[in-house]
């Protein structure tokens, strides 16, 4: 916990200032493999201090490793800082909702623990060349401000992301959890190998609109973009978000949560402004219920901060988005044969369409309608009469994500969600497979 001397140092040097201090420690182990052999083990422990000070109508935020030097830098920076008319004030003392989800075994994981998952993945791939990583991360943070508000908490995250290769194809398998013990390297390696062999020698397919079954990895891309753009409180305040509170904009099969601290949630229990995090329902049966707010965007919207302040300057970002499966509780996750059977059940309902493993290199074309462009990756197959009939070459898409999830557009949701690695530190997603009525493919992977 941050001691009172931290803030005393600030207030002595900067009388009358409002100030907050966040101390973060990230302990990470990373085991990488390529050519079916481990080639790198990395262990890092990073401490960072973040100081934000508001005085005389000006605000500065600085990061470093030494509080005394940060205070000196803040004094200098305040002299030249512009007026901050949007300062929302500090978070008052607020009771935490959770200490976070920490698994001691994951926090204490060794290179041997990670190597065991790599070994199992490689063996299960049955001679195919493999590559990927296993990571274990422990996050701890403490917060204090000059209003007397203090918090402390942490979380853990473990992930395996691996591919198996033939001469003409890749197959991918991913899983993430707050517990390393839930990651089965053999099961994931076998899945990657099956997908690689099934996608060998892909054939060309004409672009067009196709019904699709998106596997959880592809759905994770959709969730990432919704969290970055669609439900970003700054974008909402500036009129750059599709979201309209209280309106049914998505299919009634869609219930979307940001759930960093619920059972299985892998986020810190508070943000860098000291706002406690809790389960937040963004969409309930297709109706938009909330957007993500930090204190500044909440003040603009006349609402409350939701614990989604981001240091990136991009506005509030989702930390642990969870697309709820219709027949499971929020904490329920699956992996292995059960997860694959849920995909197969959706495929069986398709007359003609595509089975999509992964979307990648996605970029926003229009934030207001959330039109994205990107490419398929790691396996794409034609579905005919409920059967996967042949692998096809990767395609480029141009698609509005809210349109793809709009009323009547979601034809099926997998019966359970699967934990998926996030796109940055401190994020993880839980996603079921989705069957969607239409996805717009505009070209092949070259154009």
Q: In this predicted model, what pLDDT tens digit does every residue of 238-248 receive, in sequence order?
A: 999 999 999 99
Same-domain pairing of 193 and 244:
no
Find out whether 267 and 260 touch, Cβ atoms under 8 Å.
yes
Strands 208-214 and 170-177, by their bridges, are unpaired
> Do 228 and 148 belong to one domain?
no
Which two tokens mark 197? 């062999």
pLDDT at 281 over 50: yes
Count the Cβ atoms, other than its own, within 10 Å of residue 42: 12
Pick from 312, 333, 322, 332: nearest CA to 284: 322
* Non-local CB neighbours of 402 within 8 Å, separated by 6+ positions: 230, 242, 249, 250, 369, 370
State whether 318 and 388 are in the same domain: yes
Q: For 74, left (φ over 0), alpha (ψ -120 to 50), or beta?
A: alpha
Rg (the chain; Cα; Å) = 23
Residues 109 and 138 grouped into a single domain: yes
Instruction: Provide the residue range defining the domain that includes 46.
Output: 4-198
> What pLDDT shows up at residue 364?
96
- The answer to whether 185 touches 114, Cβ cutoff 8 Å, is no
Regarding whether 351 and 230 lie in a shared domain, the answer is yes
What does the pLDDT read at residue 182? 95
Mean pLDDT of 310-317: 85
Q: Give the residue with greater pLDDT, 24 vs 65.
A: 24
The percentage of the chain sitting over the pLDDT mark of 70, rounded to a whole number, equals 95
Which of 198, 232, 265 corresponds to the end of one domain? 198
Same domain, 230 and 274: yes
CA angle 51, 52, 57 (to 5 degrees): 150
Residue pointed to by tokens 């219920």:
289
Whether 137 shows a pLDDT value over 80: the answer reads yes
- What does the alpha-carbon distance between residue 209 and residue 328 come to, in Å, rounded to a whole number? 31
Task: Indicate whether 213 pLDDT > 70.
Answer: yes
Q: Which of 158, 176, 198 is the last residue of a domain?
A: 198
For 2-17, what is each residue's pLDDT tens digit? 766 778 888 899 999 9
Give yes or no for a contact between 393 and 207, defined as CB atoms under 8 angstroms apart.
Answer: no
329 band by pLDDT with thresholds 50, 70 and 90: very low
Confidence of residue 327 (pLDDT cuts 50, 70, 90): low
- Give the residue-averaged pLDDT of 285-294: 97
Residues 419 and 279 in one domain: yes
pTM beyond 0.85: the answer is yes
pLDDT score for 8:
86
Structure confidence at residue 423 (pLDDT): 66
57 and 96 inside one domain: yes
Q: Which of 125-139, 364-378, 426-440 has the lowest mean pLDDT?
A: 426-440
| Residue 129, in any domain of the structure | yes
- Which structure tokens are listed for 323? 């697309």
pLDDT of residue 339: 62
Is position 301 within any domain? Answer: yes
What's the chain's average pLDDT? 92
pLDDT bucket at 350, cuts 50 / 70 / 90: very high
* pLDDT score of 351 more than 90: yes
Which has the closest alpha carbon to 343: 222, 251, 431? 431
For the segment 173-177, the average pLDDT, to the nearest whole number, is: 94
Instruction: Indicate whether 203 belongs to any domain.
Output: no
Map residue 372 onto helix, strand or coil.
strand
Number of folded domains that form the chain: 2
Q: Are residues 400 and 282 in the same domain?
A: yes
The answer on 225 and 351 residing in a single domain is yes
Q: Which residue has the higher pLDDT, 374 or 421?
A: 374
Between 87 and 332, the higher pLDDT residue = 87
Residue 211 pLDDT > 50: yes
pLDDT of 330: 44
Picking from 174, 198, 222, the residue at the C-terminal end of a domain is: 198
**Per-residue pLDDT band at 314 (split at 50, 70, 90):** confident
pLDDT higher than 50, residue 331: no
Q: Domain check: are 273 and 422 in the same one?
A: yes
Do the domain assignments include residue 307? yes
Give the tens place of pLDDT for each residue, 113-133: 999 999 999 999 999 999 999
Q: What is the separation of C-alpha 144 from the centre of its chain, rounded to a whole number of angstroms?
A: 26
The pair of structure tokens assigned to 205 is: 């397919």
In this model, does residue 426 exceed pLDDT 60?
Answer: no
Name, in order, each residue with C-beta under 8 angstroms of 152's C-beta and a sequence gap of 6 or more: 1, 99, 140, 141, 142, 143
Q: What is the pLDDT of residue 332?
A: 47
Read off the DSSP letter of residue 292. Answer: B
Among 379, 371, 378, residue whose Cα is nearest residue 404? 371
Q: What CATH number does residue 10 fall under? A: 3.30.2290.10
| Cβ neighbours, 10 Å, residue 317 | 27
Q: Does one domain contain both 135 and 112?
A: yes
φ, ψ for residue 233 (rounded to 5)?
Answer: -60, -30
């Amino acid at each position: 916990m941050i001691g009172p001397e931290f803030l005393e140092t600030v207030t002595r040097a900067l009388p009358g200032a409002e100030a907050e201090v966040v101390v973060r420690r990230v302990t990470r182990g990373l085991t990488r493999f390529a050519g079916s052999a481990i080639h790198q083990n990395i262990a890092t422990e990073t401490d960072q201090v973040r100081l934000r000070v508001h005085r005389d109508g000006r605000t500065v935020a600085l990061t470093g490793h030494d509080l005394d030097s940060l205070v000196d830098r803040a004094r200098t920076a305040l002299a030249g800082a512009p007026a901050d008319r949007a300062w929302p004030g500090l978070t008052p003392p607020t009771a935490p909702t959770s200490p976070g989800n920490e698994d001691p075994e994951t926090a204490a994981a060794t290179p041997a623990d990670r190597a065991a998952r790599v070994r199992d993945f490689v063996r299960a791939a049955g001679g195919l060349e493999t590559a990927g990583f296993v990571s274990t991360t422990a996050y701890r943070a403490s917060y204090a401000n000059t209003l007397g508000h203090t918090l402390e908490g942490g979380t853990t995250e473990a992930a395996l992301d691996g591919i198996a290769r033939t001469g003409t194809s890749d197959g991918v398998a991913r899983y993430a959890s707050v517990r390393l013990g839930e990651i089965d390297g053999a099961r994931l390696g076998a899945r990657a190998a099956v997908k690689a062999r099934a996608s060998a020698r892909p054939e060309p397919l004409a672009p067009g609109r196709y019904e699709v079954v998106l596997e959880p990895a592809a759905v994770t891309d959709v969730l990432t973009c919704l969290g970055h753009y669609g439900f970003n409180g700054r974008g909402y305040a500036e009129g750059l978000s599709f979201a309209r509170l209280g309106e049914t904009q998505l299919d009634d099969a869609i219930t979307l949560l940001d759930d960093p601290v619920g059972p299985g949630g892998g986020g810190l229990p508070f943000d860098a402004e000291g706002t406690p995090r809790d389960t937040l329902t963004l969409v309930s049966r297709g109706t938009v219920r909330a957007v993500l707010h930090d204190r500044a965007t909440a003040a603009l919207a006349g609402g409350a901060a939701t614990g989604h302040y981001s240091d990136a300057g991009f506005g509030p970002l989702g930390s642990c988005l969870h697309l709820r499966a219709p027949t499971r509780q929020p904490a329920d996750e699956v992996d292995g044969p059960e997860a694959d059977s849920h995909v197969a059940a959706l495929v069986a309902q398709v007359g003609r369409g595509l089975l999509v493993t992964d979307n990648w290199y996605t970029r926003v074309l229009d934030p207001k309608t959330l039109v994205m462009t990107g490419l398929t990756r790691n396996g794409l197959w034609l579905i005919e009469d409920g059967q996967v009939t042949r692998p096809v070459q990767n395609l480029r898409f141009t698609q509005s994500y809210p349109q793809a999830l709009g009323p009547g557009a979601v034809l099926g949701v997998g019966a359970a969600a699967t934990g998926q690695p996030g796109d940055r530190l401190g994020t993880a997603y839980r996603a079921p497979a989705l069957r969607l009525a239409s996805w717009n493919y505009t070209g092949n992977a070259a154009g």
